[in-house]
Amino acid sequence: MASGIKDKVAIIGMGCTRFGERWNDGPEELMVEAFQECIQDAGIEKKEIQAAWLGTCFDEVMVGKSALSASMALRLPNISVSRVENFCASGTEAFRGAVYAVASGACDIALAIGVEKLKDIGYGGLPEFSTAIGTTNALWFPNLTAPGGFAMLATGYAAKYGLDIMDVKEAMTHVSVKSHANGARNAKAHLRKPVTPDQVKNAPTIAFPLGLFDCCGVSDGSACAIVTTPEIARSLGKNDVISVKALQLALSNGTEIAHKWDGAHFVTTTKASKAAYEEAGIRNPREEISMMEVHDCFSITELVTMEDLHISERGKAPKDIMDGFYDLDGKLPCQPDGGLKCFGHPIGASGLRMLYEMYNQLLGRAGDRQIDDPKFGLTHNLGGFPMMNVCSIAIIGKHGA
Amino acid sequence: MIGVTAFGAYVPRYRISRMTIIQNMAWYFPVIMAVAGGEKSVANWDEDAVSMAVAAAYDCMADKDRKALDGVFFASTTMPFADRLNAGIIAAALNAPEEGIANADFSACLKAGTTAAISALEAVASGERSSVLVAASDLRKSKMATMAEMFIGDGAAALLFGKDDVIAEFKGSFSLNADFVDHYKGVGKDFDYLWEERWVRDEGYGKIIPQAIAGYLKKTGTQLADFDKVIYPCYFTGTHRGIAKQLGIDPSRLQDNLHGVCGDTGTAHPLLMFSTVLEQAKPGDKILLAGFGQGCDVLGFEVTEKIRDFRPARGAAGSLAAKVDLPNYQKYTKFRDLIAADLGIRGEANPNTSLTALWRKRKMILGFTGSKCTACGTPQFPSLPMCVNPDCNAAGAFEDYEFADKPGKIQMFTGDMLSPSVDPPAVYGLVEFDGGGKAFLDFTDCDLNQVKVGMPVSMSFRRRMKDQARGFTGYFWKAVPRVQG
């Protein structure tokens, strides 16, 4: 019987660049910037890293294939480096590779780094992906984009619960207003201006019913983590050891797009979160999770995710959101760092960026966004589209908690 | 007895009022004001001659066995492929058999529609073929502010010919060849080159059609007075009526040239007019049908009792009635690629089409065929090697399941302004089919503000992409929401 990952691996260092339109920095500069912060935080030497994982999504427009980009940019000492890609879960996949390597005993210290350089393509939004969906899908997939794919979820959600789409939009609006308020407190965030509900509601439509402020920032950035065993962490003088409590991944198998699905929830998140709570020994996530960084690529994604994480009851996320339950001063703060919405979304880095915020909060380093005495921090990524996607969930906390 | 066993038509949803064209372009060429009346049909941006022919074919064959086809003939002067059997694309979209069928393209002349019909009838008469579909369709581009722009409409018609359940018996034909070049289109050219209108009217339509009709009457020993309806195309309405007067045909027996309601649809036009006649025909009606272009084909038919048992799915009348005014002339010119509007860098991506994948998946892509699991009965699209039903997941236990003719309902949707589209927003969503199965599809022929969750949809074969660099056209099926208006 598998015992799970809980408390087997500790994070001893993390780094994250400022996210944004980093016109004058390429992926190499971004990786080095994140790495230097990370290794300084870890207090180790580069030669002690025995294996590394690189997470990127749009490799064709950025670093190219393989993990050579990371190995060369960081001048790693000819160790194993693997590039992993799983849509928006790519960063968390890199983390999973490093964590599992340590947990298996294959190595003592491992690095996970994620990076995405999105602002080299000449237009807004994510890079066009018609060549990246597979040869057969390229023959029939609709003319979709990321916002359009997720926008559909709002119509499905409203229909399922008999709501007016504009009432759903009201809650979606609060999701974005809250994240902008949090992002304004974060020097590393891409978007740092608070916005009003009217600004959000009156913004130009990107994909009905999503307006500009329902969509996250498209940014350049990098984030990384160095992991080891809790024993080695202590031997390095780490008093507050932050350890991994759960790491789960779930992928669609075609049921949503081709069989039965209500069009109002994420099948993968519903399953992965349950598995993650079991792995972490959490019985009541609404009470026990202290804070979250979830995949708010679009406001509707965050709204629906609150239910799939078993924190808001089905159909009740809009009420919790409007009640301020997920605000920074609410019962369960969500996106304290501004989220994808305002921190930005360099895809391969995002999972690690979320962990960076949870890690800093757990260590009391979050400045004027600091949450009082957090115990468990949850991160969540959702890559692909509501009807076929990759979901990753990580939970970290103080060792032994 | 051989003859017509089914008929159908397709006129695209948009109509542009000729006054709209005049308001936008008469400043440049005031002569167009001479034909100010009525409206013409305008194909949507994602349609072409092949896609419209498929729509007409489905309209024709809704209650007919597409698996029994042993010939698909396609007539058009605007075929998307110069070398790839266009009729073969239509046959694949119909899920017609691949073995024991002879398909062919008839092109390069506006009477290709009637010529294809004669060939189909001869094939059936010879006993070699038993069920031959003729689909004629044209989507002709015309330069802005021209008489051609005023006259030409887009549309398609389909006729099924066979021996059983004949609704209009074939009584004979006569063809006349004349290299009379009223217009031509050189290879690789987008537009027709037209000669002087007076000559075309008087020496072309005005002489060649009467000459061919006379030839038919002489050959078959019939009189013009025997015919209850006489059909011939001629987009000059005055000339159209003048020919009838000259031949002594009572105006009530002359079928309208449809100039007012859709314009001249090229190779499809004689067959489209024939469809409008058959929709009103009674047993015993005798019909004379002519096609014009470098000569003239004349065919005679007599309607049988079986006409009472046949209706096309929607028919020409249904298609003509299901119209939406296109008040925006610029939109029309963009649909026809007459103006250069920017799709943005996002719209530049232009991967080639994998022809190996297309061959492997031809039933899926062209025929919208998924599968039905023989173990649990679940219809599914796309078809993958293992059943999608989580309670089953059986491997390899499938039979083909066609979705093209299945109605469905919208489960979720959006209108996407970020997607590169000729007609933003790009509307798409997830459709649940009556009887099971779902598909993630582009929507077409709708406006975002009309679309609702739960709205019924039907499927339409459309052009999915046009690879300008390589000349390839890709097709797939889209959902058409049943919007009002």
In whole angstroms, how far apart are CA B356 and each of A137, B8, B103, B237, B382? 14, 33, 22, 49, 17
Which residues is A251 bridged to in the sheet? A390
When pLDDT is averaged across residues A201-227 and rounded to a whole number, the result is: 97
pLDDT at A61: 66
Interval B205-225: pLDDT, tens: 999 999 999 999 999 999 999
Q: Do A143 and B420 touch (CB under 8 A)?
A: yes
Residue B271, min C-alpha distance to chain A (Å): 32
**DSSP annotation of B374:** T
Interval B290-310: pLDDT, tens: 999 999 999 999 999 999 999
Collapsed DSSP state (helix, strand, coil) of residue B404: coil
Same-domain check for residues B296 and B363: no
**Mutating which of A212, A259, A265, A388 best tests the B interface, going by the most B Cβ atoms within 10 A?**
A259
pLDDT reading at B478 higher than 60: yes
Task: Identify whether B389 is part of a domain.
Answer: no
Equal CATH topology for A10-124+220-235 and A144-215+241-398 = yes
For residue B169 the two structure tokens come to: 């018996």
Q: Do A140 and B430 touch (CB under 8 A)?
A: no
Strands (E), A265-385: 291-293, 376-385
User: Domain span at residue B470?
Assistant: 345-368+403-481
Same-domain check for residues B87 and B144: yes
pLDDT at A59: 75
Q: Do B414 and A140 touch (CB under 8 A)?
A: no
Residue A343, min C-alpha distance to chain B (Å): 22
Q: Do B416 and A255 touch (CB under 8 A)?
A: no
Residue from the list B361, B380, B437 with its beta carbon closest to the beta carbon of A139: B361
Task: Identify whether B269 is part of a domain.
Answer: yes
**Residue type at position A27:** P
Last residue of a domain, one of B312, B335, B358: B335
Write the CATH number for B360.
2.40.50
What ipTM was reported for this prediction?
Answer: 0.95
Q: Do A141 and B416 touch (CB under 8 A)?
A: no
| CA B178 – CA A243 distance, rounded (Å) | 88
For residue B324 the two structure tokens come to: 């939406």
pLDDT at B396: 86
Q: How many CB pairs under 8 A join A and B?
A: 136
Residue A137, min C-alpha distance to chain B (Å): 9
Structural domain spans, chain A: 10-124+220-235, 144-215+241-398
- On average, the pLDDT of chain B sits at 97
Task: Identify whether B105 is part of a domain.
Answer: yes
Same-domain check for residues B303 and B349: no
Question: Quick one: residue A310, left, alpha or beta (phi over 0 = left, psi -120 to 50 = alpha)?
Answer: left
pLDDT classification of A217: cutoffs 50, 70, 90: confident
Residue from the list A138, A143, A259 with its beta carbon closest to the beta carbon of B389: A259
For residue B193 the two structure tokens come to: 């080159």
| CA B411 – CA B389 distance, rounded (Å) | 19
Interval A293-341: pLDDT, tens: 999 999 999 999 999 999 999 999 999 999 999 999 999 999 999 999 9
pLDDT reading at B233 higher than 80: yes
- The answer to whether residues A96 and A249 touch, using CB atoms and an 8 Å cutoff, is yes
Q: Do B351 and A142 touch (CB under 8 A)?
A: no
Task: Identify whether B374 is part of a domain.
Answer: no
Q: Which residues contact B286 (CB under 8 A, 6 or more apart)?
A: B171, B226, B227, B228, B229, B300, B301, B302, B303
**Mutating which of B362, B364, B412, B423 best tests the A interface, going by the most A Cβ atoms within 10 A?**
B412
Same-domain check for residues B356 and B296: no
Task: Identify whether B396 is part of a domain.
Answer: no
Catalytic site residue from A57, A88, A215, A297: A88
Collapsed DSSP state (helix, strand, coil) of residue B75: strand
Reported as type and span, the H/E element at residue B211 is: helix B206-220
Please report how many Cα atoms fall inside a 13 Å half-sphere around the Cα of residue A50, on the Cβ side: 12
A175 or A126, greater pLDDT: A175
Question: Quick one: residue B67, left, alpha or beta (phi over 0 = left, psi -120 to 50 = alpha)?
Answer: alpha
pLDDT reading at B259 higher than 90: yes
Q: Which of B482, B485, B346 minimizes the C-alpha distance to B417? A: B346
pLDDT classification of A60: cutoffs 50, 70, 90: low
Instruction: Please give the CATH number for the structural domain made up of A144-215+241-398.
Output: 3.40.47.10
**Mutating which of A118, A129, A139 best tests the B interface, going by the most B Cβ atoms within 10 A?**
A139
| CA B173 – CA B120 distance, rounded (Å) | 12
Residue B328, min C-alpha distance to chain A (Å): 22
Q: Is A345 a catalytic residue?
A: yes
When pLDDT is averaged across residues B460-464 and rounded to a whole number, the result is: 98
pLDDT reading at B125 higher than 90: yes
Which chain A residues are within 8 Å of B93, Cβ to Cβ?
A: none
Task: Identify whether B74 is part of a domain.
Answer: yes
Write the CATH number for B24.
3.40.47.10
Same-domain check for residues B298 and B352: no
Count of domains for chain B: 2
When pLDDT is averaged across residues B108-130 and rounded to a whole number, the result is: 97
Same-domain check for residues B329 and B418: no
**Residue type at position B463:** R
Same-domain check for residues B184 and B211: yes
pLDDT at A360: 98
Kindly state the percentage of chain B with pLDDT values over 70: 100
Same-domain check for residues B357 and B288: no
pLDDT at B484: 72
Same-domain check for residues B179 and B236: yes
Q: Do B453 and A387 touch (CB under 8 A)?
A: no
Q: Which residues contact B370 (CB under 8 A, 6 or more apart)?
A: B364, B379, B380, B381, B382, B383, B400, B401, B402, B403, B437, B439
pLDDT at A78: 98
Nearest CA in chain B to A150: B414
Same-domain check for residues B362 and B280: no
Which chain B residues are within 8 Å of A159, Cβ to Cβ?
A: 411-412, 453-454
Collapsed DSSP state (helix, strand, coil) of residue B338: coil
pLDDT at B351: 85
Task: Identify whether B392 is part of a domain.
Answer: no
pLDDT at B349: 84
Q: Which of A30, A36, A29 minimizes the C-alpha distance to A15? A: A36
When pLDDT is averaged across residues A82-109 and rounded to a whole number, the result is: 97
Task: Identify whether B310 is part of a domain.
Answer: yes
| CA A393 – CA A379 distance, rounded (Å) | 6
Q: Which residues of A touch B (CB under 8 A)?
A: 121-123, 125, 128, 130-131, 135-136, 138-145, 147-149, 151-153, 155-156, 158-159, 204-210, 253-255, 257-259, 263, 387
Q: Do B388 and A259 touch (CB under 8 A)?
A: yes
pTM of the model: 0.96
Nearest CA in chain B to A256: B438
What angle do the packed helices B49-61 and B86-93 form, to 10 degrees?
40
pLDDT classification of B485: cutoffs 50, 70, 90: low
Same-domain check for residues B213 and B362: no
Residue from the list B353, B429, B438 with its beta carbon closest to the beta carbon of A258: B438
When pLDDT is averaged across residues A150-172 and rounded to a whole number, the result is: 97
pLDDT at A17: 98
pLDDT reading at B327 higher than 60: yes
Which chain A residues are within 8 Å of B454, Cβ to Cβ?
A: 159
pLDDT reading at A131 higher than 80: no
Interval A244-260: pLDDT, tens: 999 999 999 999 999 99
Residue from the list A140, A208, A263 with its beta carbon closest to the beta carbon of B411: A263
Q: β-pairing, B3-10 with B155-162? A: antiparallel
Same-domain check for residues B278 and B409: no
**Mutating which of B46, B358, B416, B480 best tests the A interface, going by the most A Cβ atoms within 10 A?**
B416
Residue from the list A140, A151, A204 with its beta carbon closest to the beta carbon of B476: A140
CATH homologous superfamily, domain A10-124+220-235: Thiolase/Chalcone synthase (3.40.47.10)
Q: Do A155 and B354 touch (CB under 8 A)?
A: no
